[in-house]
Amino acid sequence: MTVDQIIFILCAALILGSALMVVTTGKLIHAALWLVAALFGVAILYAILQAGFLAVVQVVVYIGAIAILFIFAVMLTRREMLDKGAQTRSNWWLPALLGLLILTGLVFLIIGQPAFGRTAAEMPLGVDTLRNLGMALVSQNAFVLPFEVASILLLAALVGAVFVASGNNE
């Protein structure tokens, strides 16, 4: 057990634990907050994986925008539900079973591949991940097109969300 591994395990426990709390807690606002914790754990994981930019983006976008959005939505629809009664459906065992099965299958598959047992190679020297990412996003023979399309998608989502949520009452 190297130090990395211990840190990894702690991080993993944070993530999974938070995730479990997300899906099982009775109060919705707690679920949103537990989601923040899980996302935070994922950011730490990105940092461990030396994708620093992504870690920051995770925190800023996911936690700073999306999770906040969730909290807003919970607040706006709070009158209903009011956290009374069971929050999971009555046949929750079936999804649980399914989840377990899928997990088991995937673990099986992963362990079955010896290639996945390797450890990471050293980062090559002189690789500036940030700069490379920037270049990849905007250079013609790289990923400029998906980048632009994603932008348009965001635009569409923006307009759509505004329209839908504005609720033009006839």
Place of tokens 């993993």: 12
Q: Which of 10, 56, 148, 160 binds another protein (CB under 8 A)?
A: 160
Contact (CB, 8 A) for 63 and 32? no
| Contact call for residue 147 and another protein (CB under 8 A) | yes
| Contact call for residue 69 and another protein (CB under 8 A) | yes
Cα separation, 117 vs 33, whole angstroms: 34
| Contact call for residue 66 and another protein (CB under 8 A) | yes
Q: Of 10-29, which residues contact another protein (CB under 8 A)? A: 12, 15-16, 19-20, 22-23, 28
Q: Which of 82, 84, 94, 141 binds another protein (CB under 8 A)?
A: 94
Residues 6+ apart with CB under 8 A from 84: none
| Contact call for residue 145 and another protein (CB under 8 A) | no
| Contact call for residue 56 and another protein (CB under 8 A) | no
Q: Of 29-48, which residues contact another protein (CB under 8 A)? A: 31-32, 35, 38-39, 42, 45-46, 48
